[in-house]
Amino acid sequence: MDATDDFHRFLERQAEAEEAMVAGDVAPRLMLWTRNDPVSLLGAWGPNRTGWAEVGPVFEWVARRLGQGTYSDFRYDVEVAQAVGDMAYTVGFERFTSTNPDGSTEPVTVRVTHVYRREAGEWRIVHRHGDLAPVDESPPGGA
């Protein structure tokens, strides 16, 4: 992982915030996001929003939805991270287990890309793209 020390510490806080989000607690995530435009979201459950007035309420809705379910074993796996100057990005996966009403479990993998901007000396998330990871249909050995 190629990132400055302060960006690395921010990513540790973000991993904790995302785990709290899966448990239904939105507050830690809200603390990490910018309130300044441009800010955007391409959400895994469909919402595509711009501007904090639209993005913030989506996070609250997602936390309520997650809080009604039974999710466990959360992991935030950052595969690529780079910070250059006052901008940064990450690419990775949020992985957890979902327990269905019948008691069966299934793994959930969300592919996530985040963009970050340093504002007044602090890192803030300014964009998130998340989607449910499809099955890899590429040929064995790569394309």
Closest CA to 33 of 112, 111, 115: 115
Mean pLDDT of 53-66: 94
- Say what the pLDDT of residue 143 is: 63
Cβ neighbours, 10 Å, residue 59: 20
Closest CA to 76 of 35, 40, 114: 114
Mean pLDDT of 129-134: 91
User: Bigger pLDDT: 3 or 7?
Assistant: 7
User: Which domains occur in the chain, in start order?
Assistant: 5-132 (3.10.450.50)
**pTM for this structure?**
0.90
Segment holding 64, helix H or strand E = helix 52-67
pLDDT tens column, 25-36: 999 999 999 999
